[in-house]
């Protein structure tokens, strides 16, 4: 078994791959060490809007830099074929950290309200 580090969307995963054909099987390409993960986007000061679950950013309901009120829907997050409105936790100016069509994980920073 050979272990590799794979980077997907900036997250690193260690995987084990079992060789087929024994130790004498030819290797078609040299194995390179994993590149360091890209630095996360800088997040401005303010109240973070976190994703409550993994999903797809289906729509941004306000423009980046728009003023929003507490409990105003700011984006639609689709999960398990259901649309979920994500609302502003406070009054302020929204700065999105995601784009329409992006897949996000739980607790990803979707936006900052400052």
Give the tens place of pLDDT for each residue, 91-100.
Answer: 999 999 999 9
Closest by CA to 12, choosing from 32, 29, 37, is 37
Number of Cβ atoms within 10 Å of the Cβ of 89: 16
Q: Is the pTM of this model over 0.85?
A: no
Euclidean distance between CA atoms 41 and 17, whole angstroms: 32
CATH number attached to the domain at 47-113 = 2.40.50.100
Give the side-chain half-sphere CA count within 13 A for 41: 14
Give the tens place of pLDDT for each residue, 6-29.
Answer: 777 777 777 777 767 655 555 555
Domain ranges of the chain: 47-113
> For residue 107, what are the contacts with CB-CB under 8 A and spacing of at least 6?
50, 51
Euclidean distance between CA atoms 37 and 20, whole angstroms: 30
């Amino acid at each position: 078994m050979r272990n590799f580090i794979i980077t997907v969307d900036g997250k690193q995963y260690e995987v084990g791959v079992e060789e087929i054909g024994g130790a004498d099987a030819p290797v078609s390409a040299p194995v390179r060490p994993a590149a360091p993960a890209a630095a996360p986007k800088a997040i401005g000061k303010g109240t973070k809007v976190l994703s409550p679950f993994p999903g797809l950013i289906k729509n941004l309901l306000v423009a980046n830099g728009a003023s929003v009120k507490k409990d105003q829907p700011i984006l639609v997050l689709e999960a398990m074929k259901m649309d979920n409105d994500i609302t502003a936790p406070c009054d302020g100016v929204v700065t999105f950290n995601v784009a329409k069509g992006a897949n996000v994980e739980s607790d990803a920073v979707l936006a900052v309200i400052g």
